[in-house]
Chains A and B, each alone.
Chain A
Amino acid sequence: MSAASASLNRRLIQELHKSRTEQNPALTYLEPLDDSDLHHWHAGLRGTPDSPYEGGVWDVDIVIPDNYPLAPPTITFKTKMCHPNVHIESGEICLDLLKAEWSAAYTISSTMTAIQTLLTSPEPDSPLNVDAAALLRSGDTVGYESLVRYYVWRYAQKHEI
C-alpha cells in the first residue's frame, strides 16, 4: 500500500502536537522515542482508576507502519503486565481494535485510551495469558484481582508520579 510518507509524517506531527497540548488522562507521557524517528513512539499507560490496575504505570512501545493510518500501529507492553489478553512475556496485546477492527479515524492517543479500557474489560475467551483468563472464567474474581495487584505492586509501580 502506498504511503505518501510526507503526509504520514504530517499526520504524526499533528498527533504529537495535539498530545502535547492536550494531555490524555490515560497516559503519563506519549512521544517518539527519538526526535529523528517519528515511526517509533513510547508511552506510559496509567492503570484504570478504581480497578486492581490503579496506581500502576506501564511502559508501552508503539511502532507505526508505513501505511498508517490505514494499518494499525503495533503496540506492546514493555513493563510486565498481567492481563488475560496480554502476553506476559512478549507484551503482545490481543485486541480486535489493533487488528481487524482498526479504523483510520483512530489516533495513537485514542488507541491508548482503548487499551486502558481493555484493562477493565478483559475478554477471557480469547486469552493470551491463560492463567489469568482461567481465574476469571472460573469466577474467581478475588483471586484474579489479587494476582493483578501483585503484578502491579511488583513491576508497574516504579514510575509512580
Chain B
Amino acid sequence: MDIDIPDPTDWLKTSIPALQALETSLRCSVCKEYFNAPMITSCGHTFCSLCIRRHLSSVQKCPTCRGSDEESKLRKNTLIEELLLSFVAIRDDMLQKLIPKEEPEEDMEITDARDATLSTRDPDARKVEKRGSLDIDIDSENTDPLDRRRGKRRKREGTSSQDTEPEGLRRSTRASSQLTSILIARQSKGYPLDGDDELNDASFEPPKDASDPDSDDDSAECPFCHKRFDAAAINDHANRCFDTGGKGATPSPQKRPPVTFRNTASASISAPRLPPYTEAQKISKRIPKGNFSLTKESDIRKKLSQYGIRYDAKGRESKQALWQRLQDWINLYNANLDSPTPMTDRELVRELEKAERHKQNQERSVVQDKEFERDLWSKKHDDGFAALAVSAKKTAPPKKASAAAGTSATAGDSATSQDTRTTAEVNGIDRPEVIEL
C-alpha cells in the first residue's frame, strides 16, 4: 500500500512541528488534498471547487459549520490559491532542510526556521519565507501577484518568450543545478500530486498509481520549452534547456502559470490547455442544475448527448441514473470553470467516464471479499459461467473462444473479461453478481 503520500504530519518530524497546522489549513477538509480551485462559502470556509459543489448538491450546508449555503454563493478564494502555489513550490525543500538529522548549513536552517514560523501567523510572510528557502526566487520576488498573472497569460498565448529570456540568462549555474536537484528530488520521492504541465507537477507523478489503472503516461513536460519528453530523459533535457535559456523559458517558479492539483493522476496532462476563464465567461458558461421532477427524461438524454456523454440508448437506465450522471457532469463542468488551468470538455467527459468505471469496479469487490466462499459461489453460478462461456464463444474470435470454453470458475472469469471489452450489449451479464439463477 502506498503510504508515501505527503500529508501534514510530515512536519511532525521536523524542527518546527507547528508547520503541520499551516499545511492543514492549505488543504481541503473534504478531500484532504491541497485546494484545487479554492472557493469560499458565504460562511467563510474554503473548499475545492469540485468538493464543495458535490457536497452542496447532496446537502445544502457548509461541511465545516453546517451553515446553509448555495452553490451560487460560492466565490473564488484567490489568496489561498496563491499561498498554496508558493507553499507547494517550497515544500519539499523546506521539509528537507528542516529535518534535523540531515544537518544543512547552520545559518540557512535558522533563517528557514524563522521564516517558516512567521508564515504560520502571517500569510504575507510567504515572500520572506521564499527568500530564505529557495534562492531561485530572489530575482522575481518583488513581482506582484497581478504582474505574475499577466505574465502567465501572455505566456499561455505564446508571446512571452522574448521578454522572459534575459532573466533566464541572468541566472547562475548554481540556480540551474539547484532547480534540477529539486526536480530530481521530487521525482525520486514519487510525489503523488498530479499537476498539469509544470516542473513541480508533471515530473513527480508517481511511477504507478495503483488506484488508477488508466495512468500509463510516463512522459513529463519540460518546464522551460513545454515540450514533452520521456520521464527518464526529462532531467537531462531540463538541464540543457535551462542553460540555453530555452525558448519561452520560465525563469522562476513564481512566473509559472498556476498549478492545479487534481486528485486523479490522469493521462490528460498531455492534452491541450485552455486559458483560465474570466469571471464573465464563467457566468455565461455555468450550467444550471435544473430540477429532477420538472425535467423530462428525454430532456436529460438530450442534454447528455449535447455534451457528448454516453448513455444507454436502449433506455435500460433509469431516469434517476441519467439524472445522477448529468448532475455529476454539471459539478465537474462548473468546477472546471474555476480551475486556473481548465480542461477541455472532451477531457472532462473522459474524467466522468473514468469515475463511473471506478465505481463499477468497486461494485465487483464482493468476489474479492475475504469471507467469500469460492467453491460455493462457483457451484451456485456454474450454469451462469457455462452460459457466459457459450456467449463468449459467439462473440470472441475463434481461437480465444476455445480457451474460454470451460465450465470451471476460472474459465468463466476469463470469458467475462473478454466480454467486457467486446460489446456494451453483454454488459448486463458480464458481472457475476448480476446473474440470478
Residues of A near any B CB (own CB < 8 A): 1-7, 9-11, 13-18, 20-22, 33-37, 39, 66, 69-71, 101, 103-105, 107
Contacts and interface: CB of A to CB of B under 8 A. Distances in A.
B3 A13 contact: yes
B365 A7 contact: no
B54 interface: yes
A10 B29 contact: no
Interface string B86-130: 000000000000000000000000000000000000000000000
B172 interface: no
Given A7-B31, A104-B29, A105-B29, A22 B1 contact: no
A107 B8 CA distance: 15
A38 to B, nearest CB: 8
A13 B362 CA distance: 17
Contacts of A3: 355, 358-359, 362
Interface residues of B, number: 43
22 contacts: A2-B54, A2-B328, A5-B211, A5-B361, A6-B264, A7-B263, A10-B5, A10-B33, A11-B31, A13-B1, A14-B5, A14-B7, A17-B7, A20-B3, A21-B9, A35-B1, A37-B365, A66-B359, A71-B58, A103-B66, A104-B63, A105-B30
A98 B59 CA distance: 14
A21 B12 contact: yes
A104 B5 contact: no
B82 interface: no
A93 to B, nearest CB: 20
Nearest to A12: B32
A69 B209 CA distance: 21
Given A5-B355, A11-B31, A34 B370 contact: yes
Interface in B48-76: 51, 54-55, 58-59, 61, 63-64, 66
A69 B30 contact: yes
A98 to B, nearest CB: 14
A16 B3 contact: yes
B368 A4 contact: no
A17 B9 contact: yes
Given A5-B359, A11-B32, A18 B9 contact: yes
A12 B55 CA distance: 18
Contacts of A34: 370
A10 B263 contact: yes
Contact of A101 (B66, B324, B365, B368): B66
A13 B359 contact: no
Contacts of B209: 6
Given A7-B263, A11-B31, A36 B368 contact: yes
